[in-house]
Amino acid sequence: MAVYDLSTPMAEDAVRSLRVGDTVYLSGIIVTGRDAAHKYMVETFIRPAAIPESERALYEALRRWLAGSAIYHCGPVVRQREDGRWEFVAAGPTTSIREEPYQADVIAHFGLRGVIGKGGMGPRTLRACQEYGAVYLHAVGGAAVLMADTVREVLAVYKKDEFGIPEAFWVIRVEGLPLVVTMDSHGRSIHAEVRAASEAYLRRLVGAST
């Protein structure tokens, strides 16, 4: 297990060098996105034959922000300063598995190199990490204020009025966001391994009691 300091946009070879268990301190521009954001991206940008003209400006912005970057499954607590600028008060990860129906398509379409959240994701996301050169980066739950301390600047926010603050796309610049690789581009998922080991242990317990 190694420690890496990475900045977005991340090169594919740098991401493919990461292995499960590695620590990453991530800096640069990333984007938050939860359930509403992922559903919106897939249903508005990825599945349709044509992008609605009314949404094209946001599509181009997201393509620019997300290429080589990471999406953070986070519903932040924010406040607006007197000068109108936003700042993060809390930025803890939300449970990632809810995005499993969408995540592989978002990785492929937008050129993501990282997905940040907690709890891990499923086989479709793992296959997309292998195919496109991406990783799942586990953020520490219960440390939302400490995570917010790494957010140096809010660059933009999209869909705040439509989705609400937690579900909006927040474009942020982070510095030294602490993360651990728990799904890599080589087919390993610590989440799947722990589940398999737990199920095997449960079967032995049940067998021993019968």
Rounded CA Rg of the chain: 18
Q: How far is CA 4 from CA 11, 23, 25, 101, in A?
A: 13, 6, 6, 30
- Is 38 known to be catalytic? yes
Task: Return the closest-CA partner of residue 156 out of 172, 145, 140.
Answer: 172
CA distance 38 to 46: 10
Direct distance between the N- and C-terminal alpha carbons of the chain, in angstroms, rounded to an integer: 41
Q: How far is CA 16 from CA 19, 126, 184, 192, in A?
A: 8, 13, 8, 19
Three-state DSSP at 156 gives: strand
Give me the catalytic one of 38, 73, 138, 191: 38
Active site members: 38
